Chains A and B, each alone.
Chain A
């Protein structure tokens, strides 16, 4: 209790809500010794964001076809750039929780009609005040019949969108979805001034000065930024440095202050550099080995269970991800998700249990596992390691190396192959992930887990979860959904891969978000120079 209070006070001090004296008074009142209180205070002050400096970042993406139109955003460079100069109705904060951004609040009584109450007094970089008119125009840009936006699909459930006065937008969905506010945080759906969706004018913390596709984006701080405690740098330069070696050299020689996607092969050399911090964030991205229930022998519950127990997950993390990741627990929901079911016991390699289920399944002979590095880097090696550990349980896995070319059409999600390697980027909301690949009507349902009793129950529960507005009830439903996949599903998910990035020790930041690489792709507005 006391710890919690002091922590809260420390946070207030960090944010400048109280001063040092007030902090000391409250700390001493809470029974903390003066020297301890003093050091707590200076810790908190060191974490206080400072303004200023020019932040240069090297990103491992970027192409000459990039634009400032958020509807065409398709790589991490455009993603980071877009979040730097633009805002969205909602955002996922660094704790992984959804909060309002340009919509101060949002609410729905039935999950079907969503009301977004817009923030007042927000100005675009061109001086125009943001109102519902701009939100409508921005959504039209992504939803219109002729729209070319990549977000068209995710906004297809929106039946109608209308304004109610200058600061209220109402969206009507064709079926209830309580996770809809997650969709509007999507990096494609940036709010721009009506009539100008493409020139890079936004409401964000930085104003675009120049943008050279595939080369760099130069921005400067927006002096009128509405968001408090954000956008600390004076100037920003985002550089597209696709070659990992060039990116790392640039960071080591101080040419840039931060970079994404560290090459794991040379990470130990980077670590030795005293001026560099390596960061990793385990998010929602995961590697899977889906078993198709409609292909023999994977329709058998015991055989699936045998294989789930026959994988040495820690070995895969150590050898395939070189330690930069986490073990998966056969659910497609990671610890970065808000409703991750942490009650499920972590599945580990257990030869006895695997052998027990294998015997019970009555199967004999080889089980084929298809893999190619198109699925993820190291997929074939991972399959070999799995075959090796399964052998200890008396299960014979035959690894088939598939060609990279055509892997996604000929191998994955294809009845010709019952078991293969795959990867998923994950989704910020649990129901979004379930809709993508685990509900019966999904085209990407790569496990074909549709007809077992558990699957039928799962499908009903996902529908219920979409309707549920009460958080604790929703939690119960989503936990149960995860348990059903964990027990009965065809999903074998041994790995959650981390985003590994590096930055100069001059950079300071708070907790790192895990929903995207680079602090949720919002590092530019969240970080500062210590």
Chain B
């Protein structure tokens, strides 16, 4: 078997194992939360019988390991269970399937994440390469200062500054990113512009500096010296000789930031009133809607694992030493 295929398969297996452990951690972390969910949802006025009936209805009376396997088996088949909330003391059921609750929100989150990534990733790669090319120049210093400044501010601050300049003082973009499934693409892009810029400003520094560092690091290696001595131009050296060897660390940091775009944008969602999955999860925690919390946590875990896996694979397949084994 080709070593690349073998490594990829190995990584996939490891990814699945990680997911299994993460699912156990999610389940037991929520299990260890103090208090009784039945009682918490029904309120203090609830009678003990009602609480017992409620627990039975939700299956909370079964032992933890059985509940875990029920949940995990369901999750494998794409069934994340039924949301707790929407029930009340008298047993009315206006609860929804977790999948139905998460799906539209997840689509919104992925849309915003892709918007931000489409701007941020090329921007930081180009800036990273350029700053490596013209390192220690005025350009390099100013780009570094600017990106470090934006990453140093908390994202809500960056968001409010953008709102102040682009929505309040000059009404160029809307401050509310309220989209719904009927919003057309152009309108959607326009509405999500400010949150996407905010996220871009927050993640560019990390990716750009990693690109710059990885390339500069390589520029000191003997084979680059060799290329230089054989008369290759600076651009040629960086694009042709340095960059292929730098992909692994760059891909890792890009994957890390993309994962952050999916799972870590609650604050931005709240500021721009964007109906994403982060807000849903916070809402679910507040209303103690455990199946939704578990579902969101699992999706976040899958996102992290998948993106890191892809980064690993990119690192492997772009590594010339692995690509051309002796």
Contacts and interface: CB of A to CB of B under 8 A. Distances in A.
Given A63-B287, A67-B94, A243 B270 contact: yes
A216 B88 contact: no
A506 to B, nearest CB: 15
Interface string B13-50: 00000000000000000000000000000001000000
A261 to B, nearest CB: 15
Interface in B226-271: 270-271
Interface stretch (B57-65, B133-141, B174-182): B174-182
Given A72-B94, A146-B90, A246-B270, A65 B287 contact: yes
Interface in A171-224: 198, 210, 212, 214-216
The listed residue with most B CB atoms (<10 A of its CB), out of A243, A245, A253, is: A253
B171 A243 contact: no
Given A148-B92, A250-B273, A212 B180 contact: yes
Interface in B131-154: none
A249 interface: yes
A64 B101 CA distance: 9
Interface of A is mostly: loop
Interface string B298-321: 000000000000000000000000
Interface residues of A, number: 32
Contacts of A67: 86, 94
Given A65-B287, A409-B44, A249 B94 contact: no
A407 B279 CA distance: 28
Task: Specify which of A152, A242, A249 lies most central, judged by the most chain B CB atoms within 10 Å of its CB.
Answer: A249
A507 to B, nearest CB: 18
Given A148-B90, A148-B92, A409-B44, A239 B176 contact: yes
Given A241-B176, A253-B171, A255-B174, A246 B273 contact: yes
Interface string A122-166: 000000000000000000000000111000100000000000000
A249 B163 CA distance: 8
A240, A250, A256: most-surrounded residue (chain B CB, <10 A): A250
Interface in B67-98: 85-86, 88, 90-92, 94
A69 interface: yes
B88 A243 contact: no
A36 to B, nearest CB: 41
B61 to A, nearest CB: 22
Nearest to A406: B44
A36 B283 CA distance: 57
Nearest to A250: B176
A252 to B, nearest CB: 6
A53 interface: no
Contacts of A65: 85-86, 94, 287, 289
A408 B284 CA distance: 24
A52 interface: no
A469 to B, nearest CB: 35
Contacts of B271: 243, 245-246
Given A148-B88, A253-B171, A216 B178 contact: yes
A444 to B, nearest CB: 12
A215 B180 contact: yes
A254 interface: yes
Interface in B171-215: 171, 174-176, 178, 180, 182
8 contacts: A63-B287, A64-B284, A216-B180, A245-B271, A246-B272, A249-B160, A250-B176, A255-B174
Interface of B: 44, 85-86, 88, 90-92, 94, 101, 160, 163, 167-168, 171, 174-176, 178, 180, 182, 270-273, 275, 279-280, 283-284, 287, 289
